Structure 1
Amino acid sequence: MSSKIVIRGARVHNLKNIDLEIPRDQLVVITGVSGSGKSSLAFDTLYAEGQRRYLEALAVDARQFIHQIERPDVDTIDGLSPAIAIEQKAGRYSPRSTVGTMSEIYDYLRLLFARVGQPNCVQCGCAIKAYTTQQIVDELMSLPAQTRLQLMAPIAIASAGARQKILRELARNGFARVRIGAHVHELSDAMEDDAGADAPMDLIVDRIVVREGVEKRLADSIEVAARAGAQIVKVSAQSASGAEPASDLVFSQKFACVECGSALPEITPTLFSFNSPSGACSGCSGSGVKSKAAGRKNPEAEATSNSQPCTECEGRRLRKESLAIKMSGRNIAEVSALPVVEALEFFRNLQWDERERAVGKKILDEITSRLRYLMQVGVDYLSLDRAATTLSGGEAQRVRLATQIGAALAGVLYILDEPSIGLHQKDNARLLALLQRLRESGNSVILVEHDPDAMRAADYLIDMGPGAGEQGGSVVACGTPKELMRAAASRTGQYLSGQLQISPPAQRRKGSGVFLTIKGAREHNLKNLTVQFPIGALTCVTGVSGSGKSSLVMDILYNEMARRLHKAQAPAGSFDEISGAENFDRVIGVDQSPIGRTPRSNPATYTGIHDHLRELFAQLPEARLRGYKAERFSFNAKGGRCEACGGDGVTQVDMYFLADVFVTCEVCKGRRYNRETLDIKYKGLSIADVLDLTVAQAAELLASIPAIFERLRTLRDVGLGYLRLGQSAATLSGGEAQRVKLARELARRSTGNSLYILDEPTSGLHFDDIRQLLDVLNRLIDAGNTMVIIEHNLDVIKCADYVIDLGPQGGRHGGEVVAAGAPEEVCQKPVSLTGQYLRPLLVA
């Protein structure tokens, strides 16, 4: 195969008929400002064509879908390997999906517990072991020579009448003696005497003295006793001297308690599956939660904020028999609840005998290798039972990346969407090392990325631009990092070389002198912290992954302020006291969760622009003549929308063996509305045409309508001028979705007493975009508002007024304030990892 991927005439979205050669088996980074065409090249061209070719290679009946999948608008692509895309947009996960199931570790964990787990009695907690005949023989032959053995089978007696019947049956089968209580009786005597009717009865099968050569007879007698005693064998062992009383040994050939008789079902991997009736808790069907709404049966509906942990399994999803099987004192739910780093330590410290090692070593190797990959991609603080629906886009992407690395494929084209999002610089170094290992395994790795460390580590860089939207779509420069730094046309290269940079402010704000203070923060791994946020300033909360940033800022600060100011229902995390809240009249939390999960959700609907557009079109003379109201121009209501696709503009195709795909509606051609509605024009454009405009184009068209223009201006100010108004929310990255939310808040009238809380607003932003975003945030703060940001980007951190660095590590080794103060103060603290990376940027 060619040493390059050769693209000719790519015209997808805003790509300007580009020709490009990308080296294979290399680490390649595609960069550029937001909207410059990076994703159009990587995902909508390379990956889309790779997926289409894969389908072409399948059996005839599987190729029925190909005609419905559009071929990317490109002349030719040569040298393309099978492609796997790992995006950072939040996926649509089942509430039952966890980090363990996504990474496939839980599948191996179920197998390991089924093979080497130690069963315990559900009732009394005693250890349970199922012995084979040979194991019982070996146990008995290990007793001192001349030990006298009496092999027995316990006989269950339901009533006195039943006892007589059983004794007669035993006599007919050739048995001679029984033990009733502590006394041995001939069967004939026992049938005539009802004494000890309530005492336990054991059938005496054989009497043997331990010596060489009795193994065969011992095995035969054990099998007879097991058949008569429902797979339970009792052995009375007396020393040769008879000086000590005989003691009873009990062996079970099934997983049943020899003390109370409580039995376990057959131990198979499905016993540990919360997706199978064999293992799922009957109280919650394996979801781990119960809805507060009586009678609700839908597990997906149960896994919402309107739910509480199942009282039967205590949120552990499995039946009690499954949880009674343990390994080194922990059941599978307890092992799954460990953070990745602690789970790896647990498995490394397992003490196994020879049999367990022989059975479990290969399974254990698979588990530990996957745990190491999760650590290397920077999610070592996540637990295996963490619900997939609670992961950020970056976390979910890195879990999927670790899974792909564990699959050990070669000859594959991996395309990743900003894998560094959400990572501290320390964690990012480990991720890059892993990606380089993926390359060294014979794969091509393409990253859509803005992280400067990733760019410097790349073998080849492609800089898209020069601008966004219609001003982008061209290859500005390409080559090695050193070549890009010398390219005069590449602003990315100039930032990498230091010719351009985002400078820290000449003077940092001190704020109003008043603080918003949280005392006794203890949520998750936070260690009883007292933290102060200066009011009227920009505070960055930093720290390695899992250090407690989200627990402090989102779970405690945002939830408590939202409860106080807006009567929000979400409970705040654990803390003692908060002071300074009276200085605010509103709190705005902006995270990276999607603005909608269906094709109907888009920036226009989320920001309210679409409502104003509907009113605008309803007031046009032709619309009034036809009697059209604003509802006519909604694609969510019957009347004006295309009924073939229900106003979605696309139809969903069930791919069975692959993820479902959306294809353009054949009736409306993706325009959402019916022909009559599209007849209504504003300045020559239908409402579908307006929704197809970029934010920047729409701002020019609608500049005379203040209610719309103000919203468009804020979208443009946060760097989203390239987005189309009607672009499906499902296609937005987490960073784009966050900036759409921020724009909606910016369009509202500010009182100057607002608290803005943002979660990594620089996700997906180029250096130029970050500069533009900082200008917007600074305008808000200068108007008297307060800004608290969770951030890893050093350009933002160095521009903050105040930094709170959490750590020193993640998980149980985090949750402390390792440094707090102005960036210059933080970078002088040796214990602060953030300070170590920040110091070169601030100290000349």
Structure 2
Amino acid sequence: MPPIADSPNGHIRIRGARTHNLANVDVDIPRNQLVVITGVSGSGKSSLAFDTLLAEGQRQYIDSLSVYTRQFFDQMERPDVESIEGLQPAVAVDQNTGSHNARSTVGTVTEVYDHLRVLFSRAGSLACPDCDTVIEQQSPDEIEQAIAAMPNESRVMIVSPLVRGRKGKHSDVLDSARKAGFARVRIDGTTYPIDEVPELGARKTHDISAVVDRIVIREGIEKRLTESVRLALKHGEGVMEIVYQIREDGQKSDEWHERVFSTQFACPRCGASVAEVEPRTFSFNSPYGACPECSGLGISEGFDPELVLPDLSKSIAGGAIAPWRGEAKTRAEKHRKLLAGFDTETPLESWTEKRLQELLTGDGKKFRGLLLELEIEYAGAKREKLREQLATFRGEVTCADCRGSRLGRASRTSRVGGKTIDQVTALTISAAREFFSTVEFDAERAPIAQPLVREIQHRLAYLAKAGVGYLALDRRADTLSGGELQRVRLATAIGSGLVGVMYLLDEPSIGLHPRDNGRLIETLRELQQQGNSVIVVEHEEAFMRAADYLIDCGPGAGRNGGHVVATGTPDEVAASEQSLTGRYLSNHAGNGYREPRKPRKTKRLVLEGATLHNLQDVTLDIPLGLMTCVTGVSGSGKSSLVIETLARQLARQLHNAIAKPGPFRSLRGTAALDRAVLVDQSPIGRTPRSNAATYTGIFDDIRKIFAGTKLARQRGWKIGRFSFNVSGGRCEECQGQGLKKIEMNFLPDLFIECPTCHGARFNRETLRVTYRGKSIADVLDLSIADAVEFFENFANVRRLLQALVDVGLGYLPLGQPSTTLSGGEAQRIKLATELGRPASGHTLYILDEPTTGLHPHNVEQLLSVLHQLVDAGNTVVVIEHQTSVMRSADWLVDLGPEGGADGGRLVFAGPPADIAECQESHTGSWLREHL
């Protein structure tokens, strides 16, 4: 790459950056290049990329908008920097999952589903929701005949829809209805005289219909019916509705029904009519498309059949949770009676689906069904212990009405290429690409469909290129890993075709197998070659070596970091003696390798027959007392096997947890375990009040220490006096936050140091209490490394603090808010919390990609801690792709060979040195080439 001064595209010039721990940084970043910012965890990488570059780019863009428009934006805090020149419009593709909304799917996040909704509404073939016959046009005469054919004395209200699902007061609509001569209107299901309509909420969604006529079905009404139908269709623009009460066998029903008629669509076989199909008809976020039973979620809470009857000998029906004291035998007998007529000795697998359905739901039987009986029992349980026991058999169950599709019946009738929209979204991205490459349309629909299909194919192609082709379009976004969601959003950004933009990415390699790194690098290179600046915060060696320009932050972390140690090409950084990253690039640093331990044959944990998601009857054999690394390409089934099946079953078996594990046949070897601990990637807190001290529980012990001082005892102060979450000892001016939020209307909210406590969080009286010359505010400002020495006489506090130091967090201030922690820092705090607790030597630790956010130097520190756990007799299972972790493991389990439907199989299990000989393993192939 030419020297930065000669770069034809110029550069971004940063001067005096002091955000967080940045130490007055000056740096020039070449524009329209692939730039990687690296450094140890806490060195200031994210502060430079996101809290400085992104924040300033957003501020400059928002400043170009009107004052009125600015108030609708959530703005980042203005960065502490003297100047930034040459900045381009900024787009962040980070690991933030945003709203953990169960309604978001891969299809909605990528906007593929929006295009599908238009495609199915404008170019789909509609079928009857009752008999699956193709819908045809219905004439006014046919509508009249259908109404006249209703039983005599049935009461019918003929209405003409005027407003459907629109917000507003709709005064103009009501005035028009009044001028047209209508005496009554039906609003949101209630009929009013037109002069007595209540004022409608302007921000609420309303349905308004004009009541054309109210009739009773009998002879001699034909002429009146004809006039009313014609009038209703005229005002409803070809659509009308009836609200009716049926009279059958001489009895009047009190139940009112509704039916829609349209001159556009009607079933020629059964006469069923549907309203006009619109894009919102296929939206599960709209009442017009969502399944009414689950409100568009596809799931509900209830008794899970798989938990109730996994095995008759161990099920609730077989009395597994007995004794329940007192009523135990009665309940067990009651549930056994429900099994009458079924052979309880027959394995569950051999029962027909129909018979099992009858048993569970009561279909075809006189009894109500086991699930309903349990729901009644659960709702009526007065004793909390009984409710807790019953709750272990409850969970998220698939909606029985929509079968998880989220859509109502009418939304599942339109077809494209022979598939309904829910069948298309159930496909993986790769399968959807194949489907749309072969789908054909007739001459009438082709001009409408082809532009939509091209756009859908375009987006699917980029998703496949980003390495997520194994994901189904209906996969919930809140079930994606941070890396998966980031790659989905990256594909969306690339597909937009923007140029002259600065893209900032936060460790896009997270969750990605080394085999797929090259594909992702090609995607980023394509984005850069379109004329964009691509700035990546990353530690993965492949990304650093592929960069045009490398920026190494450090030299240490926290107060010891915040400097730019080295810049230049990867080779130039590798030659830098000051750069810790350079030492690893030049192979002058360690890699955490150690000789693997040998497994003990008699002690193993064996999970047999796992079949969750794409797992294909997998048996996981884990040697106890060793470190096992589970690896495989993205989507191969690692999380499904280890987190969603093994960890959840251990939690139920060892800790009486409620979480539902994935289906499996058996689990052996748990008798050798006392505990199972899962350390995942969920955040430790979402408010500034949460910090390392509060999460680990250290702060409770620290408050006890201060409450035990002489001055505190003299004043009668208890432990609550030293909490910033409750009134008493905290500063009431800032409510114990140390900062005051100043709302600036169209400018970003401003946080200033509290003028009363000056950021200390506590009031003046509380701060007079000291221990070893420091107030409680001073203690929270201590680095964790300094706090170890300060509290050396308190074993519990010292042990937890030392665990934080051991995982590389000694630089972190004890009271630093959790909202300012990086993802790697938050996960290591969780790990240290577990490490700081007394271990029995019979604990299984399960870690989900613990190297997230870690520099190779931090990875070595982490491996040292994990091996200490194993040396103490514990078992460690790690889901990981990082090379050092795979090489230093005692046992390697590789799943695959591919992702999605082509994965879910056990490819290899054994010592890491042997996997290179496995021809089917992508992990083995990569290790053969690179090690």
TM range (shorter): 0.7 to 0.9
Deviation at residue 770 of structure 1 after TM alignment: 0.8
Aligned to 2:290: 280
1:109-508 matched pairs, under 5 angstroms: 109-130=116-137, 155-156=145-146, 157-158=148-149, 253-291=263-301, 307-502=396-591, 504-508=593-597
2: CA distance between counterparts of 1:153 and 1:582? Answer: 71
1: CA distance between counterparts of 2:450 and 2:902? Answer: 29
1:550-629 matched pairs, under 5 angstroms: 550-629=639-718
Deviation at residue 286 of structure 1 after TM alignment: 2.1
Contact 2:95 2:483 in 1 (8 A): yes
Aligned to 2:836: 747
Residue identity matched to 1:328: G
1: CA distance between counterparts of 2:829 and 2:606? Answer: 29
Deviation at residue 808 of structure 1 after TM alignment: 0.8
Distance 1:126 1:585, change over 3 A: same
Deviation at residue 815 of structure 1 after TM alignment: 0.7
2: CA distance between counterparts of 1:336 and 1:444? Answer: 34
Instruction: From 885, 890, 893, give the equivalent of 1:804.
Output: 893
- Is the aligned partner of 1:76 residue 2:86? no
Aligned to 1:88: 95
Deviation at residue 626 of structure 1 after TM alignment: 3.6
Contact 2:284 2:407 in 1 (8 A): yes
**Aligned to 1:355, what secondary structure does the other structure show?**
coil
**Aligned to 1:711, what secondary structure does the other structure show?**
helix
1: CA distance between counterparts of 2:43 and 2:484? Answer: 25
**Aligned to 2:397, what secondary structure does the other structure show?**
strand
Residue identity matched to 1:98: T
Instruction: From 61, 74, 85, give the equivalent of 1:54.
Output: 61
- Is the aligned partner of 1:711 residue 2:800? yes
Residue identity matched to 2:578: A
Distance 1:751 1:277, change over 3 A: same
Distance 1:130 1:635, change over 3 A: farther
Aligned to 1:782: 871
Deviation at residue 276 of structure 1 after TM alignment: 1.6
Instruction: From 720, 734, 737, give the equivalent of 2:809.
Output: 720
Distance 1:567 1:153, change over 3 A: closer
2: CA distance between counterparts of 1:545 and 1:727? Answer: 34
1: CA distance between counterparts of 2:512 and 2:46? Answer: 21
Distance 1:152 1:526, change over 3 A: closer
2: CA distance between counterparts of 1:383 and 1:55? Answer: 36
1: CA distance between counterparts of 2:475 and 2:879? Answer: 21
1: CA distance between counterparts of 2:482 and 2:738? Answer: 26
Aligned to 2:821: 732
Aligned to 2:850: 761
2: CA distance between counterparts of 1:506 and 1:285? Answer: 55
Residue identity matched to 2:106: V
The structure with the larger Rg is 1
Aligned to 1:7: 14
2: CA distance between counterparts of 1:377 and 1:673? Answer: 49
Deviation at residue 422 of structure 1 after TM alignment: 0.5
Aligned to 1:44: 51
**Aligned to 2:712, what secondary structure does the other structure show?**
helix
2: CA distance between counterparts of 1:564 and 1:724? Answer: 38
Distance 1:104 1:599, change over 3 A: farther
Residue identity matched to 1:783: A
Q: Residues 542-589 of structure 1, C-alpha deviation per residue, up to 9 Å, x if partnerless?
A: 100000111111122111122111111112211111221111111111
Question: Which structure 1 residue ranges, 5 or more long, are not aligned?
Answer: 134-150, 163-196, 202-222, 233-250, 296-303
Aligned to 2:175: none
Greater alpha carbon shift after TM alignment, 630-639 vs 3-12: 630-639
Deviation at residue 41 of structure 1 after TM alignment: 1.1
1: CA distance between counterparts of 2:63 and 2:676? Answer: 52
**Aligned to 1:378, what secondary structure does the other structure show?**
coil
1: CA distance between counterparts of 2:692 and 2:535? Answer: 28
Residue identity matched to 2:121: A
Aligned to 1:531: 620
Q: Residues 714-749 of structure 1, C-alpha deviation per residue, up to 9 Å, x if partnerless?
A: 011111223332233333343332221111111111
Deviation at residue 420 of structure 1 after TM alignment: 0.4
Distance 1:306 1:578, change over 3 A: closer
Distance 1:274 1:647, change over 3 A: farther
Deviation at residue 638 of structure 1 after TM alignment: 2.6
Distance 1:680 1:102, change over 3 A: farther
2: CA distance between counterparts of 1:811 and 1:655? Answer: 48
TM-score by length of 1: 0.82
Contact 1:540 1:797 in 2 (8 A): yes
- Is the aligned partner of 1:825 residue 2:914? yes
1:505-516 matched pairs, under 5 angstroms: 505-511=594-600, 513-516=602-605
Contact 1:370 1:406 in 2 (8 A): yes
Q: Residues 101-146 of structure 1, C-alpha deviation per residue, up to 9 Å, x if partnerless?
A: 221122112111111122111111112245999xxxxxxxxxxxxx
Contact 2:395 2:659 in 1 (8 A): no
Contact 2:41 2:825 in 1 (8 A): no
Residue identity matched to 2:111: E
Deviation at residue 607 of structure 1 after TM alignment: 0.5
Q: Residues 595-653 of structure 1, C-alpha deviation per residue, up to 9 Å, x if partnerless?
A: 22233222211110111121122223333344332112222223233445544456779
1: CA distance between counterparts of 2:627 and 2:410? Answer: 53
Q: What percent of counterpart residues are identical?
A: 52
Deviation at residue 88 of structure 1 after TM alignment: 1.5
Deviation at residue 74 of structure 1 after TM alignment: 1.6
Distance 1:265 1:563, change over 3 A: same
Deviation at residue 388 of structure 1 after TM alignment: 2.2
Deviation at residue 444 of structure 1 after TM alignment: 0.9
Residue identity matched to 1:693: L
- Is the aligned partner of 1:26 residue 2:36? no
Residue identity matched to 2:110: S
Deviation at residue 807 of structure 1 after TM alignment: 0.6
1: CA distance between counterparts of 2:488 and 2:74? Answer: 33
2: CA distance between counterparts of 1:66 and 1:563? Answer: 44
Residue identity matched to 1:456: R
Greater alpha carbon shift after TM alignment, 532-541 vs 832-841: 832-841
Q: Residues 10-61 of structure 1, C-alpha deviation per residue, up to 9 Å, x if partnerless?
A: 1222222121111011111111111111111111211122222222222123
Distance 1:632 1:262, change over 3 A: same
**Aligned to 2:116, what secondary structure does the other structure show?**
helix
**Aligned to 1:450, what secondary structure does the other structure show?**
coil
2: CA distance between counterparts of 1:408 and 1:338? Answer: 26
Distance 1:519 1:116, change over 3 A: same
1: CA distance between counterparts of 2:702 and 2:489? Answer: 40
| Residues paired across the two proteins, number | 741
1: CA distance between counterparts of 2:704 and 2:48? Answer: 37
Deviation at residue 365 of structure 1 after TM alignment: 1.8
Distance 1:810 1:636, change over 3 A: same
Contact 1:36 1:464 in 2 (8 A): yes
TM-score by length of 2: 0.74
Deviation at residue 354 of structure 1 after TM alignment: 2.6
